[in-house]
Structure 1
Amino acid sequence: MDLDDILGPQRDDPLAALLREDLDRLSVAELEARAAALEGEIARIRRKIDGAVNHRASADALFKR
């Protein structure tokens, strides 16, 4: 069992805070800017995942008999 399962997410978890944030107070322009920033972050995360997968595949190929 993971510690997060026992304690729950940390109170200062930025992702949890982001998901709880009230969007009603934001203008359309602010919402569009936020969406663009999040889409950029998603692209960055996907690049990191791809790199990790490729790195793992390279390591597996190197040590495979």
Structure 2
Amino acid sequence: MLMVADIDSATRPVNLRAMTDEDLPRKKSDLLVDLAREDLDRLSIADLDERIAALAAELARAKAKRDGAAIFRAAADSLFKK
């Protein structure tokens, strides 16, 4: 009888380590806390500019998603209020 590990090991090594907390998906609040705690002193001006641009792009993406969700919610509310 073939085990899943036997099939996998034929194509690539199998990692049989135990699952840890680091393997679990992180909460969004953890990501924001980590971002806020990051030491900015070690970053150059160019690195800071790159970080600001990336954060601005992420903020725009979040705002666009929120705006779309608000439009969808308003449409759903008007449909069910009839």
TM-score by length of structure 2 reads: 0.63
Over residues 11-63 of structure 1, what are the superposed CA-to-partner deviations in whole Å (9 max), with x where a residue is unaligned? x8111011001100000000000000000000000001001100100001101
Structure 2, unaligned runs of 5 or more: 1-26
Q: Where in structure 1 are there 5+ consecutive unaligned residues?
A: 1-9
Q: How many residues align?
A: 55
CA RMSD of aligned residues (A): 1.5
TM (norm. structure 1) is: 0.79
Q: Which has the higher contact order (CA 8 A, sep 6+)?
A: 1
Runs of at least 4 residues of structure 1 off by over 6 A? Answer: none
Tell me which protein shows more helix as a share of its residues.
1
Of 13, 17, 23, 2:30 maps to 13
Taking every aligned residue pair, what percent have the same amino acid on both sides? 56
